[in-house]
Amino acid sequence: MAGLLTCLKHMMFARQADTAGLSRSCRTQSGLRAMSRGGSRNLAIVVAGVMAILTGESGRAGEPVMALTGLNSAFVQTFDSFEGTFGSLPTGFSVSKDGGNVMGEGDGDFRGISRGNVTAGGCYAWAVGETNRALGYQPTADEFTPGFFQLAISNATDRPVRYVAVSYIVVWQNNADRSSSLELFFSSDGAALEPVSGSLFVTPGPKAECSKWSSREFEFTICLECPLRPGGIIRLRWLGDDSGGSGSRDEYGLDRVAIRAKASLGTVFCVF
């Protein structure tokens, strides 16, 4: 018995060592650049409400959910097929113009495809390159101040998920004097939203004389304090809002969101 207790202590110490240096939410920089740019798409796409029987946490009414069906493989979502319409949103993604309610097909705030420098507020497919589009918004005093982009992911595997590696690209056009912020938050199984440390991005100001699309890549690993059980849902929310300055607001958005989930950092063995 004494040997068993000693072993358990060593295992607990090893587990603590594995997570040393991580914050309460265990957010660290991730090596997602090592993923293939082509991305292995081993994740199926499903509609909300199919999963989460085991945990009692399911997609909210009308909420789209992407099902994670494999661990340790990268899912890469681009927006090249997004047409700036509700129906062309990739499965799992939703948009809120007021920071609370999710926009629907009849809202009239999906504005189509644009290269930027628009005057009407709304959700756009920003054409940031010849064939490259981004999920974006032109904020106004009444829209996206605050607002958010959200990705809901269901654990459709048969194992608990402890780590979720996420990378994404923020695109912006500094064509206005007022700067805007975009910050990543997460919530698992309906818990309160938590900010991801280091994810706060602010567009520059004042406006550039000759504005053009710019981009910046972010990479993080989120360590869930309570592992996401099979059927559970994690929500990634990019919250946008005013940051500083006055007048009109910059255009910005998301591109190339990559997700990879892991069950653990490794297994600890004890021999006595």
Find out whether 72 and 130 touch, Cβ atoms under 8 Å: no
- In this predicted structure, what is the pLDDT of residue 178? 97
Rounded distance between C-alpha atoms, residue 96 and residue 146, angstroms:
9
Give the β-pairing of 161-173 and 201-202: unpaired
Q: How far is CA 119 from CA 8, 111, 124, 163, in A?
A: 63, 11, 12, 41
**% pLDDT > 90, the chain:** 68
Per-residue pLDDT averaged across 163-167, rounded? 97
Q: Which of 20-24, 114-118, 153-157 has the lowest mean pLDDT?
A: 20-24
CA angle 117, 126, 82 (to 5 degrees): 150
270 pLDDT above the threshold of 60: no
- In this predicted structure, what is the pLDDT of residue 31? 36
127 pLDDT above the threshold of 70: yes
- Tens of pLDDT, residue by residue over 34-75, are 333 333 323 322 333 333 333 334 445 568 999 999 999 999
Per-residue pLDDT averaged across 257-270, rounded? 72
- Tens of pLDDT, residue by residue over 107-125, are 889 999 999 999 999 999 9
Hey, how many other C-beta atoms are within 10 angstroms of the C-beta on 112? 13
CA angle 121, 257, 116 (to 5 degrees): 30
Per the prediction, the chain carries an average pLDDT of 81
pTM assigned to the model:
0.77
Q: Which of 46-60, 63-77, 190-204, 217-231 has the lowest mean pLDDT?
A: 46-60
- In this predicted structure, what is the pLDDT of residue 60? 54
Per-residue pLDDT averaged across 168-191, rounded? 96
Helix, strand, coil % (nearest 5) of the chain?
Answer: 10, 40, 50
Residue recorded with tokens 């959200």: 150
Say which amino acid occupies 208.
A
- Residue 265's pLDDT band (boundaries 50, 70, 90)? low
Contacts of 227 (CB under 8 A, 6+ apart): 160, 161, 162, 263
- In this predicted structure, what is the pLDDT of residue 43? 33
**Domains delineated in the chain:** 25-262 (2.60.120)
- In this predicted structure, what is the pLDDT of residue 104? 92
213 pLDDT above the threshold of 80: yes
- In this predicted structure, what is the pLDDT of residue 189? 79
Provide φ and ψ at 65, rounded to 5°.
-130, 135
Find out whether 109 and 103 touch, Cβ atoms under 8 Å: yes
- In this predicted structure, what is the pLDDT of residue 45? 29
- In this predicted structure, what is the pLDDT of residue 107? 83
What element of type H or E holds 13? Answer: helix 2-18
By C-alpha distance, which of 226, 40, 235, 256 is closest to 150? 235
128 Ramachandran zone, left/alpha/beta (phi>0; psi -120 to 50): alpha
- Residue 205's pLDDT band (boundaries 50, 70, 90)? confident
- In this predicted structure, what is the pLDDT of residue 267? 42
Q: Tokens representing 52?
A: 């989460």
Per-residue pLDDT averaged across 212-220, rounded? 98
